[in-house]
Structure 1
Amino acid sequence: MTLLRDGWHRLRRSRLVRWISLAVVMLLIVEYVVLPQILGSGNVLAALRGLPPILVLLAAAFEALSLCCYSALTMVVLPGTRKPRYFTLLRIDLSDLAVNHVVPGGGTTSAAVRYALLTRSGVRPQDALSAAMVQVVGANLVLGVLFGAGVLTALGEVRINRYFITAGIAVLVLLALSLAALSVLDRHLEAAVRAARRTARLVRFLKPASTERFVRTMAAETAMFRRDPRRLVLALFLIICYWGFDAACLATFLAAFGHTPAPGELLIAYSLANLVALTPLTPGGVGLVEGVLVPTLAGFGAPSSAALLAVLSWRILNFWLPIPVGGLAWLSLRLGVLRKPAVRGTPGDGRVSRG
């Protein structure tokens, strides 16, 4: 109790925490009070209370499954044979998500928090970095595939303007280049390292040593998946489930408010909004996601009020709820399995203590 009380007092005195709290409150007011009034959609929470409870529970279940799939992916991509327990990894990922959703450009900060929690739970530093790189790169590549698939699917369903087609082609080209890069890493690693170091010297904000470490890490992960194709298939399946269950949560709210989108429409709108959210301008892409997703859905024929209510309802589960849940997850880790320093295996043995 003394540890918890001391931590609470430090949080109360932190100026950063006060500013973050104020920003979160202001974002909540703008998103759920001001914006609905401007667009004439009424009270979002009142609209949610008017929905059948079974639909809300179904949407919440889809979102929970999405988060569970991401932590299962963490388990799959972590190298080594001994890893923290799944429930420990789930709480680490929830803590990461909470930080990402409250700090502007929070990807770097949340990655540092996740790295610290993983290493404290017994994961070797290099393994923690490796898993993080593979998850981020893999998830974003699959998201690009989903966007391209949405454009191809929607060609026979709705009128797609040239901007969507151009974006779809650009994404597919980037995916092809990424696959080519992975092939080069697998077959010509040293040449790729030399090229990466030369590029880093030309770009001021890149460090040659860090760039080389990134290239070698990706090459090692590529080799690992090549040796174990079933692991690769499982990782891809979990990434698709991670995005798919989250999209299903959004689709459930859209259907609840009276609009059932075609698969191509949903994939385009959902993937485009999440690709835009990768821009580190606002915490977790708040404002950017809504600003892209609502008009895109409306452009595909969804009533504006239904699109807004569905997106804001989805964001309660997708964006806002993980903040307090992630805070509680972090607290449970620091007061539980991560309270004592981890007992690590000997360097190079590939083993870690269980969380």
Structure 2
Amino acid sequence: LGFRLITSSGIAKADAGFALATAGIGSAVILNVLLWIGLIVSIPLRGSSPVYGTAAVAGAVLMAIVGAIILGLVDDKGRLHRLVKWVFDRFGRDGDSVALLLDHLRDRIRGLVAERDVMKRVIMWGTANWLLDLLALWLFLRAFGGSVAPDGLLVAFGLANVLASIPITPGGLGIVEGIYIPTLVGFGVPAATATVTVLTYRIAQFWLPILVGGVSYVSLRIGAVAPVPTPQTRLGRLQSATQAGTQVRESKASWIERNAPRDRTGMFPTPTYETTGEQPKQAPPERPETSRD
């Protein structure tokens, strides 16, 4: 849906696909880095857990897949291109179009790597996105009277979101809640506090954007709702009428040209007049002289 909305606004399909892929890959890399930082700090202090290993392995596998795809795209020998083209041709699809798309993605990736300033901005905004999400979780936890160490909060956040990236349920629905609550409880948060914190946080973080996006999508489909005009006072209506009367001025020549009788036969052209001048006055026709008897 996001790809379709972006392309419908005039963005090329290749550029839209590259933007979405870059956002997803960059977000996954930054999230895994945050998780590993939390694990490095937390394991020496609090010990390990089987969930830590599962999340670390899942993150490592995801990073390996991403790295393999990127290396395959920028490979000068074009082995990934030939493989993808062969697979699409095998299933009766247009492999040449896919190969052209991969070439475009390769050029865009190389351009992104060469533009260090753009790369820095991507990393900065991606990190800010996850840190603000983490801050929202902490604020919900504090709102319900809970407290947890920073490393515990970072580990719980990283575990839930890394495992949610595995495409099992939409948006990790059920997986995120099933990881957050026991992990926070393991770090000393009461079970009731952890439950209400996670559920309300997920309403704001997952369900509320869906609601806002759905309303926005419907508004794009049916058009914007016309605003209700505010009632004007008597003085306001008089001022509006005065402004409308002073803004529109029509010369006499324009009025004559607009209201003059038209020749319906089409044989005689209608005279036109300059907007700055007026129709010249014509002398009255002379009367024929009558003979006197």
Class of the TM-score when normalised by the shorter of the 2 chains: 0.5 to 0.7
Q: Which residue of 2 aligns with 1:115?
A: 3
- Post-superposition Cα deviations, 1:256-297, rounded to whole Å, max 9, x if no partner, equal 223332232222211222223234443322222111211111
Structure 2: how far apart are the matches of 1:207 and 1:157?
A: 55
Question: Compared with structure 1, are the counterparts of its residues 326 and 252 closer, same or farther at alpha carbon in structure 2 (3 Å cutoff)?
Answer: same
**1:302 match: secondary structure:** coil
> How far off its partner does 1:196 sit?
4.6
Distance across 1 between alignment mates of 2:40 and 2:98: 35
The answer to whether 1:262 aligns with 2:146 is no
Q: Which residue of 2 aligns with 1:40?
A: none
The change in CA–CA distance for 1:280 and 1:155 in structure 2 (over 3 A counts) is closer
Once the two structures are superposed, residues 18-75 of structure 1 have per-residue CA deviations (whole angstroms, 9 ceiling, x without a partner) of: xxxxxxxxxxxxxxxxxxxxxxxxxxxxxxxxxxxxxxxxxxxxxxxxxxxxxxxxxx
Closer/same/farther in 2, CA of residues 327 and 184 from structure 1, 3 Å limit: closer
1:140 to 28, 31, 51: 28
Of structures 1 and 2, the one with the larger relative CO (CA 8 A, separation 6+) is 1
Which residue identity lines up with residue 334 of structure 1 in the other structure? Answer: R
Q: Does 1:231 align with 2:121?
A: no
Q: Percent of counterpart pairs with the same letter? A: 32
* Higher Rg of the two aligned structures: 2
Match of 1:219 among 106, 114, 117: 106
Letter matched to residue 186 of structure 2 = G
Number of equivalent positions: 223
Alignment-derived partner of residue 305 in structure 1: 192
Say whether 1:317 aligns with 2:204.
yes
**1:46 equivalent in structure 2:** none
Return the match for 1:160 from 42, 48, 55: 48
The residue type paired with residue 120 of structure 1 is S
Secondary structure (helix, strand or coil) at the match of 1:298 reads: helix
Alpha-carbon distance between aligned partners in 1 of 2:97 and 2:202, rounded to the nearest angstrom:
35
The one of 133, 153, 159 aligned to 1:246: 133
* Whole-Å separation in 1 of the counterparts to 2:173 and 2:54: 25
Question: Partner of 2:14 in structure 1?
Answer: 126
Bigger mean CA deviation after superposition, 118-127 or 271-280: 271-280
Mark the runs of 5 or more structure 1 residues left unpaired by the alignment: 1-112, 338-355
Kindly provide the amino acid, as one letter, of the partner of residue 295 in structure 1.
Answer: P
Matched AA of 1:134: T
Distance 1:211 1:260, change over 3 A: farther
Q: Which runs of 5+ in 2 are unaligned?
A: 225-293
User: In the alignment, residue 278 of structure 1 is paired with which amino acid?
Assistant: S
Q: Does the aligned pair in 2 maintain the 1:193–1:212 contact within 8 Å?
A: yes
Other-structure match for 1:330: 217
Q: What is the aligned counterpart of 1:191 among 79, 90, 94? A: 79
Kept after mapping to 1: 8 A contact 2:146/2:190: yes
Paired with 1:242 and 1:213, the residues of 2 have a C-alpha distance of 32
Alpha-carbon contact 1:145-1:172 (below 8 Å) kept: no
**Amino acid corresponding to residue 39 of structure 2 in structure 1:** V
Residue 168 (structure 1) shift: 2.2
Q: Is the 8 A contact 1:298 1:307 kept in 2?
A: yes
| Structure 1 pair 166–159 and aligned structure 2 pair: CA distance change class (3 A) | same
In structure 2, distance between residues paired with 1:207 and 1:306: 54
Render the CA deviation track for 1:152-191: whole Å, top value 9, x for unaligned: 1212432222541464255346536644653453353513
Distance in 2, Cα, partners of 1:258 & 1:193: 55
Instruction: Please name the residue that 2:254 is paired with.
Output: none
Question: Where is the helix percentage greater, Structure 1 or Structure 2?
Answer: 1
